[in-house]
Amino acid sequence: MLILIGFCIATAVIISCDVSHYRNNPLRAEFEASLRAREPIELANIVRSGIRVQLFMPSDTLQTGFTTMLIELTDSASGKTIETGSVQILPVLRSAVHDRQTPLQATSTTAVKNFDRMRFPCDVLLLERGNYELRVRFTAQGKTDSIGVLVPVRESWRVAKAQGNDQVSYFLTFAEPQRPRVGVQDFSLFVHRLNTDSSEYLPVSGLALDHEPTMPSMGHGSEGNIAPAYRTNGRYDGKISFNMTGDWRIDIAAKQGNTTLLETFFFFIL
């Protein structure tokens, strides 16, 4: 009996150690998603060209990945909320050596209701940890201007950096589902490569992607997965299936033609 108990304890320690060595030792995906359901945190409140610009983030810490930030525009003289216009966020990774611009996402043109306020939702890609300047560009009431906000960004499980067989650095972003759940659901990845000459992240098209979800602790996979197909601007859409809660590893293989370009994985706890 003592031998059996000792074996079980040792096995639990081994499993725990193995899981802890997965990239970034992630929090539960459910808990991460719950943070986004809370009232957003104000990051900046700046008046420019007669318009008050308030920038909100989904939680008190920004992490790498695909996220949606919110911008509230108000006429600074009247206090009236502005509900139509044009808003974009361009993240720039700052360093002593060079600056890197993250690919710009779609322009937000209509405010939506968020906690009884009308705010513009702006999608943002953050591919590496570090200190960023978020450049907010806006056009409203016939005025065009911008503000810059400095903010640190932490690493998360949602971005996998991999060295391709062509010796180029690639960044794969687990964009959807933002809130993984049990069952078959939409699955979206962004794929970018680093242009070392210009220090830009460039979207990658034309890859054949394959993904295989497995549970390391249970030794099985799932059914109903559909390989992500290229859509636009580095985005690939497919289906992914999780048949129970627990630890999930998603292995990704990317091919160019018949040649494997890279292999990497994501890991989280559902």
Residue 48 tokens, joined? 């420019």
Alpha-helical segments (H) within the chain: 2-20, 29-36
pLDDT beyond 50 at 19: no
Q: Is residue 1 part of a domain?
A: no
3-state secondary structure of 173: strand
3-state secondary structure of 170: strand
Q: Are 148 and 246 members of one domain?
A: no
- pLDDT digits over 117-134, tens only? 999 999 999 999 999 999
Domain extent at residue 163 = 157-269
pLDDT beyond 60 at 146: yes
Q: Are 192 and 236 members of one domain?
A: yes
Mean pLDDT of the chain: 87
- Strand partners for 229: 237
Q: Mean pLDDT throughout 54-81?
A: 94
- pLDDT digits over 190-207, tens only? 999 998 777 789 999 999
Q: How many domains does the chain have?
A: 2
Tell me what pLDDT residue 169 has. Answer: 94
- Give the CATH number of the domain where residue 140 resides: 2.60.40.10
Looking at per-residue pLDDT, the higher value among 14 and 138 belongs to 138
Examine the fold and report which residue of 127, 154, 181 is the final residue of a domain before the chain moves on: 154
Examine the fold and report which residue of 104, 127, 154 is the final residue of a domain before the chain moves on: 154
CA distance 20 to 68: 28
pLDDT band per the 50, 70, 90 thresholds, residue 102: confident
Q: Are 141 and 232 members of one domain?
A: no
Q: Is residue 211 part of a domain?
A: yes
Examine the fold and report which residue of 109, 127, 154 is the final residue of a domain before the chain moves on: 154
Count of CB atoms situated within 10 Å of the CB of 231: 11
Tell me what pLDDT residue 37 has. Answer: 60
Q: Are 66 and 148 members of one domain?
A: yes
- Give the CATH number of the domain where residue 176 resides: 2.60.40
Q: Are 135 and 83 members of one domain?
A: yes
Q: Is residue 20 part of a domain?
A: no
Tell me what pLDDT residue 97 has. Answer: 77
Tell me what pLDDT residue 103 has. Answer: 85
Residue 210 backbone phi and psi in degrees, to 5: -130, 140
